[in-house]
Every structure is written in structure tokens, then in C-alpha cells.
């Protein structure tokens, strides 16, 4: 089997239960919601990314913010991050 390189596409999806986050990173929902976390790397890209699929509280251009603590707001402040959404460079 050939060794994977940075040119390959890689994807994995994980089902999780999330309780949302507030400004301090604490959980805010009484009952967790079922969502899926998609972790992937596109061909030729040296960044691993993650997005949350199916979350009604996900906000921001990359879904990097959580509005579970403030469901009436269209966009929470930058300090309310979704811990399951990220972009991380790959260092070889």
C-alpha cells in the first residue's frame, strides 16, 4: 500500500454530543445535542481542518463560534469559540 502524502485527501467524521460553550468555555446546554465533527485535509493543502455538521448553534464563516449561550444573537463575540471547529497547519 502506498504511503499517504500531503497531496492526498483525508476525511474522518465523528459523532459527538455537545453542550455548547459560553465566554469562559463552560458548557451551557442542559441536554447535549447530537452533531458530527468532520476532520479533513484537502489535496495539496498543508492544513487540517474541522467543522461541525448539524449544529443549530454553530456560527461564523468557518463555524468557529458557538451561540448556545446567546441563541438569539446571529453572531456571538469572537471569545465564544466552538472547540470542535479549527484549522491547524501540518508541520512535517
Is there a contact between 70 and 40 (Cβ–Cβ < 8 Å)? no
Q: Give dist(CA 79, CA 75) in Å, integer.
A: 11
Mean pLDDT of 38-62: 88
Exposure b/e, 26-38, CB count within 10 A at least 16 = b: eebeeeeeebebb
Q: Indicate the average pLDDT of the chain.
A: 85
The pLDDT-based confidence of 77 (bands split at 50, 70, 90) is low
Show Cβ contacts of residue 50 under 8 Å, excluding neighbours closer than 6 positions: 37, 38, 39, 40, 84, 85, 86, 87
7 vs 44, more confident? 44
Residues composing the chain: 92
The pLDDT-based confidence of 69 (bands split at 50, 70, 90) is confident
Amino acid at each position: 500500500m502506498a504511503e499517504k502524502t500531503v497531496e492526498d485527501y483525508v476525511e474522518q467524521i465523528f459523532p459527538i454530543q455537545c453542550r455548547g460553550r459560553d465566554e469562559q468555555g463552560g458548557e451551557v446546554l442542559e441536554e447535549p445535542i447530537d452533531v458530527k465533527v468532520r476532520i479533513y485535509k484537502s489535496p495539496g493543502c498543508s492544513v487540517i481542518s474541522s467543522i461541525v455538521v448539524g449544529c443549530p448553534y454553530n456560527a461564523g464563516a468557518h463555524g468557529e463560534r458557538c451561540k448556545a449561550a446567546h441563541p438569539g444573537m446571529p453572531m456571538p463575540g469572537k471569545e465564544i469559540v466552538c472547540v470542535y471547529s479549527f484549522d491547524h497547519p501540518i508541520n512535517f
